[in-house]
Every structure is written in C-alpha cells, then in structure tokens.
Amino acid sequence: MSLDHHLDDATLLQYACGNLDEAFTVVVATHVAMCDTCRHAVRQAEELGGGVLEDVGTAELEVGSFEHLMLRIADQPAEIAPAATVPHVSGDVPAPLVRHLGPDLDAVRWRSIAPGVRKHVIKQNSASKSSLYMLHIAPGMAVPEHGHGGSELTLILSGSYTDVFGTFRRGDIADLDEHVEHQPIVDGDLPCICLVATEAPTRFKGFFSRLLQPLTGI
C-alpha cells in the first residue's frame, strides 16, 4: 500500500528499541503492517540495534553456560518455530490489531460519547499509562480533541479526514507531539474509523478543552 503519512523517525527508532509502551507499540505495529516504507525503515533502525549490540561490551557468562543451554534445548525438543500463521491483512483489521480487536471492524462494539462520535476502548495487557482506543466519527464531523498535551498517534482504518497536514486515508498515521494543534474534519460520505494511542495527560491545554473533557469522555 502506498501511503502519504508516516511515522516520525524518532517514533520509529523508539519502536525498534522496544521502549514504547503497549498502546503506542500496537498502533505503530499496525501502521507498520500496512506500510512497506515504514517496515523497511524499521529494519534499518534495527540495524542500529545490531550495531549497538556489537558495541555494548561483554559480561562474563556463568561457567558451563553453553552446556546448560544445550541441555535446556534437549529438554524441550522439537518445538520448531511454527510457520507464520497470521495473514497479511485479515479482512479490514491488520494483523497486530486482530489480537486486540478480532478480525472484523463491523463487529466492534461502539459506545456513543457525543453526537456523531463513538468510541471503543481497547483493553491492554500491561498496566500502561497511555490509552488505546478506536474512534468512529460521522461524515462532516470534527475529530474531537484528544491529545490533552501528551503525544498521540492516530491511524486511519477506514474513511478519511482532512486537517492542516493534508488528507489521511486508510493506513495513514498522524504522529503528533504535544505542541500540535489541529482540527481534523471527516471527509466524504463514510464515517472515519481510527485507532488512537494517547499519552497520559501531562498538562491541560486550556480552559476550553478542560470544559470539553468531561463531556466527550475522552
């Protein structure tokens, strides 16, 4: 798929390091599953990880470490790594998201949070401070303010929206830091469904969003 909006290089590196929290990791991986460009870029970032591993120095292993390893391997035999089981994109939900959502966007259980705006919170396995959820926004509606001053990732799964950065379609990702103000409007006749990770609020943006916050429940 050829896409217009990609991950920030700093986010991509953090993903390669493995130090994003669960919510951000899921959104990045879902974009990477849909985006050949970023998949290639992640592989290059992982080369940096390889370079750092060569440079990290050595720590002495325990005596007999290798023999111990071979015994462990012999004890748990024949567990050859299974062949890949995950389809490239099953239905309209990309592989890394299927585990959290199921294979079908139509089966998502939405909760209405404001006129034209529905939300589905995705359960996380770890006690993550960031939130992970989906938004379903009707055509012509504005995507509600959801960053609260931390960084946020918004990945389009269906439909499209437009803001000052351009038009975002299926697979495109908005990788925004805390300083960005934008007001996306859903285009066309179809609702826009997006997957969102937001960092825990670090500061309030202003009186107006504070006022809006309890209303939208975001």
Partner 1 sequence: MQAAWRVDEIEDNSVPETDAHVLLMSDIAGNQDREAFKALFLHFGPRIKSLMLKSGARPEQAEDIVQIVMMTVWRKVHLYAPDRGSVSAWIFTIARNARIDRLRRGSSQAYTDIDDLEIVSDEPDGEDRMFASQRTQKVAKALSELPEDQRQIIQLAFMEDISQSEIAAKLALPLGTVKSRMRLAYAKLKNKLEDLK
Q: Which residues bind partner 1 (CB under 8 A)?
A: 8-10, 12-14, 16-22, 25-26, 28-29, 32-33, 36, 39-62, 65-66, 68-70, 72-73, 76, 79-81, 83-88, 95-96, 99, 125-126, 177
Picking from 147, 212, 137, 140, the residue whose alpha carbon sits closest to that of residue 182 is 147
Residue pair 199/22 in contact (Cβ under 8 Å)? The answer is: no
Beta-strand pair 111-114/161-163: unpaired
35 binds, among Zn ion, partner 1, none (CB under 5 to 8 A by kind): Zn ion
Q: Which is nearer to partner 1, 89 or 141 (CB)?
A: 89
Q: Which is nearer to Zn ion, 124 or 158 (CB)?
A: 158
Distance in angstroms (rounded) separating the CA atoms of residues 111 and 133: 11
Measured CA distances, 125 to 82, 130, 186 (Å):
24, 12, 31
17 binds, among partner 1, Zn ion, none (CB under 5 to 8 A by kind): partner 1
**Cβ of residue 173: shortest distance to partner 1, in angstroms?**
15
**Cβ of residue 163: shortest distance to partner 1, in angstroms?**
21
Distance in angstroms (rounded) separating the CA atoms of residues 32 and 36: 7
* Residue carrying the six token digits 């998502």: 108
**Cβ of residue 156: shortest distance to Zn ion, in angstroms?**
12
Q: Which is nearer to partner 1, 2 or 65 (CB)?
A: 65
